[in-house]
Amino acid sequence: MHALENTPDGSLDPDEVRSAINHDSRDWPKTGMVSLENTQNLLGGLVLDRDDIERVADVAHEHDLPFHIDGARLFNAAVSLMFP
């Protein structure tokens, strides 16, 4: 696993995600998947909105990688987005 640092609003910088993807280094394992956690537990439960998620998913799909959203608190995120 290669964790990236979040921006203050809880999102990930797509360029940082892109630069962290490894296809051919002999020193590091090949990237096999991109995954997000929603809500962002380490940031006090910040919720990623659809745009935040799509920006990262687009990067994963550009590199033909599976994209996963951890759903342990997915319903909390959904309620938060429905009732801001």
Residue 3 lies in a domain: no
Token pair for residue 61? 């799909």
Has residue 60 been placed in a domain? yes
Number of domains in the chain: 1
Q: Is residue 6 domain-resident? A: no
Judge whether 6 and 12 are in contact, CB under 8 Å: yes
Residue 63 falls inside a structural domain: yes
31/8: higher pLDDT: 31
Indicate if the pLDDT at residue 77 is higher than 80.
Answer: no
Confidence of residue 28 (pLDDT cuts 50, 70, 90): confident
Q: Residue 68's domain spans which residues?
A: 14-82
pTM score of the predicted model? 0.80
pLDDT tens string 4-22: 988 888 889 999 999 999 9
* 32 against 48, higher pLDDT: 32
Does any domain span residue 25?
yes
pLDDT at 42 over 70: no
Residues in the chain, how many? 84
- Give a yes or no: residue 74 inside a domain: yes
Q: Encoding tokens for residue 65?
A: 């990688």
What is the C-alpha to C-alpha distance for residues 80 and 84, in angstroms, rounded to an integer? Answer: 5
For residues 38 and 56, the answer to whether their CB atoms sit within 8 Å is no
